[in-house]
């Protein structure tokens, strides 16, 4: 999924989907912009059962746990808890 996050066309498509899903408009205040930092983590997951993409705020502790879960999964497992 990380290759998609580096593709400006894909990111713009995600923004378009989010705006349409929110009724055609999303207002981001100056305060909200200031509260976002480089340390904030957003995970992007694919749900194979539904074909859905899940965007989720990720706590750094959760990220460390998820990394160890992924490393411990056998190669036969195709799905992960998100």
Return the higher-pLDDT residue of 69 and 41. 41
The token pair at 51 is: 């074909």
pLDDT of residue 32: 93
| pLDDT exceeds cutoff 60 at 76 | no
Whole-angstrom distance, CA of residue 59 vs CA of residue 56:
10
For the beta carbon of residue 47, count every other beta carbon within 10 angstroms: 12
Token pair 């993409």 is found at: 53
SS3 64: helix
* pLDDT tens column, 21-68: 999 999 999 999 999 887 888 888 889 999 999 988 888 776 666 555
Per the CB < 8 A criterion, the answer to whether 11 and 5 are in contact is yes
Backbone angles phi, psi at 54, to 5 degrees: -115, 125
Q: Whole-prediction pTM value?
A: 0.62
pLDDT of residue 67: 58
**Residue 53, strand partner residues:** 46
């Amino acid at each position: 999924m990380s290759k998609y996050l580096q593709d400006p066309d894909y990111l713009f498509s995600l923004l378009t989907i989010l705006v349409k899903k929110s009724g055609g408009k999303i207002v981001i205040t100056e305060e909200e912009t200031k509260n976002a930092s480089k340390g904030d983590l957003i995970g992007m997951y694919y749900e194979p059962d539904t074909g859905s993409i899940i965007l989720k705020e990720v706590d750094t502790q959760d990220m460390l746990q998820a990394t160890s879960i992924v490393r411990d999964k056998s190669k036969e497992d195709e799905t992960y808890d998100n």
